[in-house]
A and B are shown apart, each in its own frame.
Chain A
């Protein structure tokens, strides 16, 4: 099914998103930006421009550059608010047969048509980015939009070539992005402080049965207050500070003012994470005395002081909206922050103080509305349908490599089913076989993790260590069952362990844990006995001339006995016989040390070496 585009059609900027792999994702426009200015123009050359380019040329072509068209959507010419805009807008707003029209390059356009041009650019850019046709869209509108405004927005979508699946409220989209539609009987406040507008909405998530409903209980705001006002305050402050210092007014100089704007915006952003920002604009201007530089420090406290009138106002409006909703502040279960300006810590704090709870701000506040529109689109698309649940492996899986290290092939939290393979080699020269010891767990050493199974791949052609290539592949199926295969790349010989075997080994390991422990003990006892026999025989041979006959006979008989018992499976008797031989053997030690006193040094070191050899052989 083709993708449905989620669109946040904003007053100053618009954004778009789609569901990809089950989660919403913002789509960048052709210019590589995540938001597109909601501006349309027809240039002197007769070219239609939308977005950044339209914004750029606005100053040279104000009469043919339309911005803020959202404020005119679905209005009548006589509406007082249209009359007010008519006087302040640099472009012409005229009466149309149904509602208002704006003039660009001598031609009149309905606001729907202008919005359609913005939507058309988004559509075209999304198609280019995604490489597929997009025919449907979900578009957001402010909660206060009335029927005619919603209809105008829907028309704009249709003119742009979309089938508009639904028009949804911006605060509802924000709640969707956070997944709050799943909650029942909750009140949610959406505080939206954007670049040019401020909106607050109180939503009620209702529905006891199957149907969920999101109802806007109240909405309020100021359509002419936003982050840009704060920017202006900063610019004004810097200008005044500089004038105090140098006596020069830089706000009249185009280039200086532009540099000032850029620095002010940068400083504002910086102060969201630091407590002090430096504004450094060298060679900002010059006078008879020579070049002048601007170097100022703006503290977060100063910024908050500059912004306080807007923050206070937004909180007042918020209180008003809560009152209008019929709820009390304490009834609000969740608060969502929307709009870039809400990144300012003072705003987050003010909202937190008002509601006495931490507001939600984990989703990019500039993008949350478009993302929520995409979530709604995804519901229509059926992408969010829960037919296939993908699991993850809870523990890492790997094999033991040189030095007893557990080398992971499949990391924990990997989505399954999955297959991973890696090339290993031999640790010693002419090694003809490798043991694949499969382990599960997060510890560094194989011994500290859980053994899932072992098998041996042999028949590797003798070669210097590190040369043979053994490919080990792990396959973990959707049920979390593992199969392991090892293959010698040179000979093509392979050995594998099937999942059933691993399962059996896992069960065996649990059932036979006690048995294995006993087996291990027996093997250890036998090994110990064998080592001692070896040492004893070697000592008898090495020191044959110095050992009295009776000692020799005693040791020899003990050796024989241990050899006999060792063939059996009784750990206790093997241990006793080993101890007996050990004590007889110590007599040699005594004899040797006596001899050493007479001569020079004892030869114990040699014995040590022998034992060590025996261990490794």
Chain B
């Protein structure tokens, strides 16, 4: 640590009577220059450290928010998986018709409840059937050929709905996109 102390002692040059005054001045000037350079370096380091800290504080605040959001997203993504399965189960109308009505009703209530939970946490559903394909919101799992140019790049089937959390897409809708076949 002592190496960082200002070298005050160094400024007291050797008391050699023989040293000429010009030499003394020269030596003192050199020492002053060295001290000034050192001081500048220290000031620079100090300012840098202060700035680093201020920036760290700012980014830490942002990181905290982001981490909180990320943790929420991770959990919601797992729940979305569950919602997907409910959708799939419901889509099989013929099979569902064979289930006792009371069971079917109960099943639908659980599904409704799950959607309400997702909604409560700020999730909105993206159901883009018929819309133009947009990679920001949709993930195509396959394409369907079309000969109609106006249908090119339209979403013709929604395999899984998408979800957005506070305007941010956390799961794009998985879709089939029509592509023009020549």
A57 to B137, CA, bound (A): 10
Chain A's nearest CB lies how many Å from the CB of B157?
9
Q: Would A59 and B95 be within 8 Å (CB), given that A258-B159, A391-B1 are in contact?
A: no
Q: Is there an interface contact between B142 and A282, defined as CB atoms closer than 8 Å?
A: no
What class of interface size applies to chain A in its complex with B?
20 to 34
Chain B residues within an 8 Å CB radius of A480: 1
Q: Is there an interface contact between A53 and B136, defined as CB atoms closer than 8 Å?
A: yes
Using CB atoms and an 8 Å cutoff, list the residues of chain B in contact with chain A: 1, 4, 41, 45, 49, 52, 56, 66, 70, 85, 88-89, 92, 95, 98, 133, 135-136, 138-143, 152-153, 159-160, 172, 174, 176-177, 179
Chain B residues within an 8 Å CB radius of A403: none
Q: Is there an interface contact between B92 and A291, defined as CB atoms closer than 8 Å?
A: yes
Q: Is there an interface contact between A258 and B174, defined as CB atoms closer than 8 Å?
A: yes
Jot down 7 A-B pairs with beta carbons below 8 A, ordered by A.
Answer: A56-B140, A60-B140, A255-B174, A258-B174, A283-B92, A290-B92, A479-B1
Chain B residues within an 8 Å CB radius of A49: 135
Q: Is there an interface contact between B177 and A60, defined as CB atoms closer than 8 Å?
A: yes
Q: Is there an interface contact between B143 and A291, defined as CB atoms closer than 8 Å?
A: no
Q: Is there an interface contact between A254 and B141, defined as CB atoms closer than 8 Å?
A: yes
Answer whether residue A2 sits at the interface, using C-beta atoms and an 8 A cutoff.
no
Q: Is there an interface contact between A388 and B45, defined as CB atoms closer than 8 Å?
A: yes
Chain A residues within an 8 Å CB radius of B136: 53
Answer whether residue A387 sits at the interface, using C-beta atoms and an 8 A cutoff.
yes
Q: A59-B141, A254-B141 are in contact. List 17 more A-B contacts (CB 8 A).
A: A21-B56, A32-B66, A32-B70, A43-B135, A44-B153, A49-B135, A53-B135, A53-B136, A56-B135, A56-B139, A56-B140, A57-B140, A59-B177, A255-B159, A258-B159, A283-B85, A478-B4
Q: Is there an interface contact between B142 and A286, defined as CB atoms closer than 8 Å?
A: no
**B90, closest chain A residue (CB):** A283
A286 to B88, CA, bound (A): 10
Chain B residues within an 8 Å CB radius of A54: 135
Complex partner residue of A254 from B88, B95, B153, B176, CB under 8 angstroms: B176
Q: Is there an interface contact between A44 and B45, defined as CB atoms closer than 8 Å?
A: no
Chain A residues within an 8 Å CB radius of B141: 59, 254-255, 257-258
Q: Would A282 and B135 be within 8 Å (CB), given that A44-B152, A255-B141 are in contact?
A: no
**B178, closest chain A residue (CB):** A60
Q: Is there an interface contact between A254 and B142, defined as CB atoms closer than 8 Å?
A: yes
Chain B residues within an 8 Å CB radius of A283: 85, 88-89, 92
B-contacting residues, A45-78, CB 8 Å: 49, 53-54, 56-57, 59-60
Q: Is there an interface contact between B143 and A59, defined as CB atoms closer than 8 Å?
A: yes
Chain B residues within an 8 Å CB radius of A21: 52, 56
Chain B's nearest CB lies how many Å from the CB of A43?
7
A49 to B92, CA, bound (A): 37
A387 to B66, CA, bound (A): 34
Q: Is there an interface contact between A282 and B85, defined as CB atoms closer than 8 Å?
A: yes
Chain B residues within an 8 Å CB radius of A388: 4, 45, 49
- SS class of chain B's interface: helix, strand, loop or mixed? mixed
Q: Is there an interface contact between B89 and A57, defined as CB atoms closer than 8 Å?
A: no
Chain B residues within an 8 Å CB radius of A56: 135, 138-140, 172
Top-7 shortest CB links A-B: A57-B135, A283-B88, A254-B142, A255-B159, A53-B135, A56-B135, A254-B141
Most-contacted residue by chain B among A32, A60, A283, A291 (CB, 10 A): A60
A283 to B152, CA, bound (A): 31
Chain A residues within an 8 Å CB radius of B179: 60
**B177, closest chain A residue (CB):** A60
A480 to B45, CA, bound (A): 20
Chain B's nearest CB lies how many Å from the CB of A22?
9
Chain B residues within an 8 Å CB radius of A59: 140-143, 177
A480 to B2, CA, bound (A): 12
A282 to B82, CA, bound (A): 10
Most-contacted residue by chain A among B89, B135, B172, B179 (CB, 10 A): B135
Chain A's nearest CB lies how many Å from the CB of B80?
12
Chain B residues within an 8 Å CB radius of A258: 141, 159, 174
Chain A residues within an 8 Å CB radius of B176: 254
**A286, closest chain B residue (CB):** B92
Chain B's nearest CB lies how many Å from the CB of A263?
10
Chain A's nearest CB lies how many Å from the CB of B107?
12
Q: Would A60 and B143 be within 8 Å (CB), given that A255-B159, A283-B89 are in contact?
A: yes
Most-contacted residue by chain A among B140, B160, B177 (CB, 10 A): B140
**B133, closest chain A residue (CB):** A60
A110 to B85, CA, bound (A): 45
A56 to B88, CA, bound (A): 23
Chain B residues within an 8 Å CB radius of A57: 133, 135, 140
A454 to B15, CA, bound (A): 45
Chain B residues within an 8 Å CB radius of A257: 141
Chain B's nearest CB lies how many Å from the CB of A246?
15
B-contacting residues, A473-504, CB 8 Å: 478-480
B-contacting residues, A278-315, CB 8 Å: 282-283, 286, 290-291
Most-contacted residue by chain B among A43, A255, A257, A480 (CB, 10 A): A255
**A49, closest chain B residue (CB):** B135
Chain B residues within an 8 Å CB radius of A60: 133, 140, 143, 153, 177, 179
A291 to B45, CA, bound (A): 68
Chain A's nearest CB lies how many Å from the CB of B181?
12
Chain B residues within an 8 Å CB radius of A32: 66, 70
A86 to B4, CA, bound (A): 63
A32 to B133, CA, bound (A): 22
Q: Is there an interface contact between B135 and A387, defined as CB atoms closer than 8 Å?
A: no
Chain A residues within an 8 Å CB radius of B172: 56
A56 to B134, CA, bound (A): 9
Chain B's nearest CB lies how many Å from the CB of A476?
13
Q: Is there an interface contact between B95 and A286, defined as CB atoms closer than 8 Å?
A: yes
Chain A residues within an 8 Å CB radius of B98: 290
A480 to B1, CA, bound (A): 10
How would residues 247 to 267 of chain A score, 1 for a CB under 8 Å from any chain B CB and 0 otherwise?
000000011011000000000
Chain B residues within an 8 Å CB radius of A290: 92, 95, 98
**B160, closest chain A residue (CB):** A255
Chain A residues within an 8 Å CB radius of B138: 56
**B87, closest chain A residue (CB):** A283
Q: Is there an interface contact between A478 and B1, defined as CB atoms closer than 8 Å?
A: yes
Chain A's nearest CB lies how many Å from the CB of B109?
18
A21 to B1, CA, bound (A): 21
Chain B's nearest CB lies how many Å from the CB of A264?
15
A32 to B141, CA, bound (A): 23
